[in-house]
Each structure stands twice: as structure tokens, then as C-alpha cells.
Amino acid sequence: MQATDDQTPKELSFLQIVQNILAAGLGVQSRTERQRAFSSKSPMPFIVGGIVFTSLFAGVLFTIVTLVTR
């Protein structure tokens, strides 16, 4: 059984990966975008991007709390 063109994993562009990470991190990702992300060739860009996004998000929150509580 051969995979058709619709079933072969497609490489996403950098912008599409960033959009998927931001949408998933904020909890607003659509079902079609999530399916497209999970059908990509490698999960590594999403893992690295998720770690970077989470670190930046935590850093921004820490900075805001520090500035507000001064």
C-alpha cells in the first residue's frame, strides 16, 4: 500500500512552525493546523520552539511581576 501525496509528511516553513507554536502555546490552535503540524516530517522544530516559547513566556511574566511588585 503506497502513500498518496496527501499522506506524505510535508515540511513546514519557519513562519508556519512559529505560528503553530504560538497558537498551541496560547491554546487557540485550530484542528486543521494541529493536524498539519502533527503530519510534519520531524517534531524537533516544535520541541525546540516550544522550549524557547515557554522560556520567553516565563521570562516575560517574571519581569512583569518583578516590575509590579517594586
pLDDT per residue as tens digits for the range 5-56: 556 667 888 999 999 999 988 889 889 988 888 888 889 999 999 999 999 9
Distance in angstroms between the alpha carbons of the first and the last residue of the chain = 65
Cβ(39)–Cβ(33) below 8 Å: no
Query: Nearest to residue 49, comparing CAs of 1, 3, 27, 16?
Result: 16
C-alpha torsion 42→44→45→48, nearest 10: 170
Q: How many angstroms separate the CA atoms of 10 and 27, rounded?
A: 23
Domain ranges of the chain: 14-68
Write down the pLDDT at residue 1. 46
The pTM of the full predicted model, rounded to 2 decimals, is 0.73
